[in-house]
Structure 1
Amino acid sequence: MPHINIKHFPKDFTEEQKQRLSEALADVVIRHFDVPDGAVSIALEPVPQSAWSDAVVVPEITGRQDLLIKEPNY
């Protein structure tokens, strides 16, 4: 605990980019949740643009405003 799952349009990341992103996200989570680094897990989940609405918007955004701390503007 906590786990971050970032769904995004497909993008090629180098291992260095993944490492920098992981470190930056983990630092924020560690600070705000007051947990050790070993408690944080992070996943990147590519979702094709054509599937975005069905895979992300409908199940994870629509009707879940009470869970969102930042809503999209689309």
Structure 2
Amino acid sequence: MHWHLDVTFKEDANKTIDKRAAENLNIIRKWCISILKIIEIFRPKLSMKKKRFVISMNPAEFLEQVLAF
């Protein structure tokens, strides 16, 4: 999972100083990774980084699908 977090969210570049904030961000990122694994957008073999990009370009279109999980 660490590799996915690093590639998809660039977690190693995170400079959060507050320990509790860093833990909270980590939990949010892991939750997002689990949603991205489940969701199928256009093609079943789309990478998580590309899924994240596609959702960010038109969030209203995918909001219902993302929140359904």
Same fold (TM over 0.5): no
Q: State the TM-score, normalized to the length of structure 2.
A: 0.37
Structure richer in helix, relative to its length:
2
Q: Which of the pair has the greater relative contact order for Cα pairs under 8 Å at 6+ separation? A: 1
**Larger Rg, first or second structure (1 or 2):** 1
Per residue, is there more strand in 1 or in 2?
1
When the two structures are superposed, what TM-score results if normalisation uses the length of structure 1? 0.35
